[in-house]
């Protein structure tokens, strides 16, 4: 048989590739049998320079198995630009055990969820089910995982709480349940990226293409974070700026856990209702939602409600985690990936006022007669929604929707309001249904997406617009 055409690329051994682990020595990686010099890409990497450097000198596959965002054609195209060589033919092929699926231990999920990525698992509640019940059923509650779900043995689980002067509190699950009063809070959790897909229609953004279902409401039960912090020796007040940092038991291949922080004042405030939750809607916390213990920070972006909680520490600085420092921040529409400076913007905490239409769905054909429009409305920081306005003609004329459910204590409106409007609609009409909510501080939603567009697609809360056709 004819010999295969010889490659125009030089050949390297794995050992030679392994000498290129830092920008000074150049940064090389392998993928399959190809060798790449990615030195010039390190600082441009959307996932951060530190993450990319974890793979320096070796194979990308085990890392990319964990961050499936790379399994897209545009990522391989980008990588191809950096090809400088190939592995010697006598190098063994990549060790299959190194690419063993880190998600193999994830829990089973309800097939009714709308999946936006499988590894890590991210899925939302289908819009038409969102407002069928005030409390979202656990099996249908949206899931936002950045990493594989850790397997935690409830018997040997310990929560590490770092107290003042180096004292450490180590709490088993039964101690957390028995030593602190159980407190229950009904709170809505919303991902910063909820409704991102509307933003990417204006201009592409980086992130999962969430529709309107990266939000849900549950009755959470657990110990108050306040009680645990006071028990550990902290006081109600603390001079200066302090933060309470949380670490999850889910970690990336470099060992960095998921982490986030909230200001100290919120953590110790009785009125802020921050929980170390072990129950969700009266059941044990499900694995996807943080079993055995998660933080629930009512009124604050979902990213701070750290799941699979392993460690709590008080610090003068915010959490050093990637997700506190270099993600979950808002920017001007003029900021792009070349000019973005994450240190210039504050981490998102309280979310802005939000509402969306769950019924009918965009593009639906509805019968003439009486139309029922349904949706949810919520605002961050415990600000209650005082009104939802609905238009059937793109915002020219408005009606006020009726709000279901109870009014909450002032400043502690942690849960959404479901709303409904019934209106006659004529046969053959083309409607653009619009909703917008008003919160206690008279904050309103912006009318269009363009002026709030940002490169990461967070904080997407423009008027929700749903075009429908009325049949004849
Ligand atoms: C030369 C090697 C690499 C290249 C060319 C590369 C390329 C990329 C690209 C293009 C994206 C954006 C994808 C998108 O949102 O469409 C991305 C995101 C990311 N990458 Fe990499 N990557 C590399 C290595 C790594 C390694 C080794 C890790 C982890 C150890 C990593 C972790 C991440 C993370 C965490 C994100 C952000 C995902 C998100 O949007 O939440 N990358 N990478
Ligand atoms: N440990 C850990 N906690 C986490 C996350 C994570 O990936 N790991 N994701 C965060 C984000 S971005 C959101 S929106 C919420 C989602 O909570 P849920 O999956 O229970 O809906 O969890 C937060 N807590
Ligand atoms: Mo999120």
pLDDT of residue 377 exceeding 60: yes
Active site residue 183: no
Residues 337 and 300 both lie in one domain: yes
Same domain, 182 and 267: yes
* CATH number for 74: 3.10.120.10
- Residue 336 within any structural domain of the chain: yes
User: How far apart, in whole angstroms, are the C-alpha atoms of residue 162 and residue 41?
Assistant: 38
Asked if pLDDT for residue 98 goes beyond 80, the answer is: no
Q: Do residues 197 and 318 both lie within one domain?
A: yes
334 and 385: one domain? no
Task: Name the residue of 69, 144, 219, 277 to mutate for ligand 2: max ligand atoms within 8 A of Cβ.
Answer: 144
Residue 179: how many other CB atoms lie within 10 Å: 13
pLDDT in tens, 229-240: 999 999 998 999
Considering the candidates 328, 383, 417, 464, report the single residue annotated as catalytic.
Answer: 328
- Total domain count for the chain? 3
Sequence-separated (6 or more) residues with CB below 8 Å from residue 114: 123, 124, 125, 126, 211, 213
- Please state, in angstroms and rounded to a whole number, the distance separating the CA atoms of residues 136 and 418: 12
pLDDT recorded at residue 410: 86
Question: Do residue 279 and residue 372 come from a single domain?
Answer: no
50 and 132 fall within a common domain: no
Residue 339 burial (CB count, 10 A): 10
Give the up-direction half-sphere exposure of residue 277: CA atoms within 13 A in the CB hemisphere.
Answer: 30
35 alpha carbon – ligand 2 mean position (Å):
35
Assess if residue 2 is contained within a domain.
no
From 319, 344, 369, the end of a domain falls on: 344
Do 81 and 144 fall into the same domain?
no
Question: Are both 222 and 155 inside the same structural domain?
Answer: yes
The model carries a pTM of 0.80
Side-by-side strand order, sheet with 417-425: 354-359, 369-378, 417-425, 402-403
Q: What is the mean pLDDT of the chain?
A: 94
Residue 3 in domain: no
Q: Give catalytic status of residue 231 as yes or no.
A: no
Q: Does 105 map to a domain?
A: no
Let me know: does 390 contact 421? Beta carbons within 8 Å: yes
Do 321 and 256 share a structural domain?
Answer: yes
Predicted confidence band of residue 94 (pLDDT cuts 50, 70, 90):
low
Atom number, ligand 2, closest to the C-alpha of residue 247? 1
Atom of ligand 2 nearest to the CA of 192: 14
Same domain, yes or no: 68 and 129: no
| Whether the predicted pLDDT of 1 surpasses 90 | no
Q: Residue 459: which CATH number?
A: 2.60.40.650
Pair 164, 272 in one domain:
yes
The CATH number of whichever domain residue 337 belongs to comes to: 3.90.420.10
Q: Residues 191, 258, 294, 412: which is the catalytic one?
A: 191
The yes-or-no verdict on residue 241 having pLDDT over 60 is yes
For 118-145, the pLDDT digits (tens) are 999 999 999 989 999 999 999 999 999 9
Residue 6 is assigned to a structural domain of this protein? no
Please report whether residue 72 resides in a domain: yes
Question: Of 293, 318, 344, at which residue does a domain stop?
Answer: 344
> Any residues with CB less than 8 A from the CB of 341 and at least 6 apart, and which?
none
End residue of a domain, out of 320, 344, 368: 344
Of the candidates 12, 20, 31, 70, the residue annotated as catalytic is 70
**Alpha-carbon span 146 to 154, nearest angstrom:** 22
Reported as a pLDDT band with limits 50, 70 and 90, residue 96 is low
Range of the domain at 194: 114-344
Strand 158-162 with 464-470, pairing: unpaired
Q: Is the CB of 189 under 6 A from ligand 2?
A: yes
Tokens at 171, concatenated: 């709490």
Tell me the per-residue pLDDT of 166-214, one tens digit each, with 9 for 90 and over.
999 999 999 999 999 999 999 999 999 999 999 999 999 999 999 999 9
Looking at the structure, do residues 251 and 141 belong to the same domain, yes or no? yes
Asked whether residue 86 is assigned to any structural domain, the reply reads yes
State whether the beta carbon of 142 lies less than 6 angstroms from ligand 2.
Answer: yes
In a domain, 390, yes or no: yes
């Amino acid at each position: 048989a004819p010999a295969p055409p010889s490659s125009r690329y030089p050949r390297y051994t794995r050992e030679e590739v392994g000498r290129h682990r830092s920008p000074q020595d150049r940064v090389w990686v392998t993928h399959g049998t190809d060798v790449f010099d990615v030195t010039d890409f390190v600082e441009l990497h959307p996932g951060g320079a530190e993450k990319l450097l974890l793979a320096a000198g070796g194979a990308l596959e085990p890392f990319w198995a964990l961050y499936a965002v790379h399994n897209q054609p545009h990522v391989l195209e980008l990588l191809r630009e950096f090809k400088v060589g190939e592995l010697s033919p006598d190098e063994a092929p990549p060790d299959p055990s190194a690419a063993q699926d880190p998600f193999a231990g994830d829990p089973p999920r309800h097939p009714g969820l709308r999946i936006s990525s499988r590894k890590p698992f991210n899925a939302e509640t289908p819009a038409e089910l969102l407002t069928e019940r005030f409390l979202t059923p656990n099996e249908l509650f949206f899931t936002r995982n950045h990493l594989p779900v850790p397997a935690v043995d409830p018997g040997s689980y310990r929560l590490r709480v770092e107290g003042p002067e180096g004292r450490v509190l180590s709490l088993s699950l039964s101690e957390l349940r028995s030593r602190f009063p159980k407190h229950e809070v009904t709170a809505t959790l919303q991902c910063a990226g909820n409704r991102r897909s509307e933003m990417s229609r204006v201009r592409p953004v980086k992130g999962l293409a969430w529709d309107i279902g990266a939000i849900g409401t549950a009755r959470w039960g657990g110990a108050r974070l306040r009680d645990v912090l006071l028990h550990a020796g902290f006081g109600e007040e603390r001079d200066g700026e302090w933060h309470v940092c949380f670490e999850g038991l889910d970690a990336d291949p470099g060992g960095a856990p998921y982490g986030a922080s909230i200001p100290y004042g919120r953590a110790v405030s009785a009125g802020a209702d921050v929980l170390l939750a072990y129950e969700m809607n009266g059941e044990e916390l499900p694995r996807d939602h943080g079993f055995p213990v998660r933080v629930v920070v009512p009124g604050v972006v979902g990213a701070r409600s750290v799941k699979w909680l392993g460690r709590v520490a008080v610090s003068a600085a915010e959490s050093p985690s990637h997700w506190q420092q270099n993600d979950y921040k808002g920017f001007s529409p003029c900021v792009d990936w070349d000019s973005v400076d994450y240190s210039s913007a504050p981490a998102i905490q309280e979310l802005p006022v939000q509402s969306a239409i769950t019924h009918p769905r965009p593009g639906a054909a509805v019968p003439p007669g009486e139309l029922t429009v349904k949706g949810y409305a919520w605002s961050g920081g415990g600000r209650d929604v005082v009104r939802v306005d609905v238009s059937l003609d793109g915002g020219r004329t408005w009606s006020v929707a009726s709000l279901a459910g109870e009014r909450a204590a002032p400043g502690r409106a942690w849960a959404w309001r479901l709303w409904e409007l019934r209106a006659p609609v004529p046969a053959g009409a083309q409607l653009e249904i619009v909703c917008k909510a008003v919160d206690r501080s008279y904050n309103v939603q912006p009318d269009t997406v363009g002026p709030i567009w940002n490169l990461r697609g967070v904080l997407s809360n423009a008027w929700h617009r749903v075009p429908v056709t009325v049949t004849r």
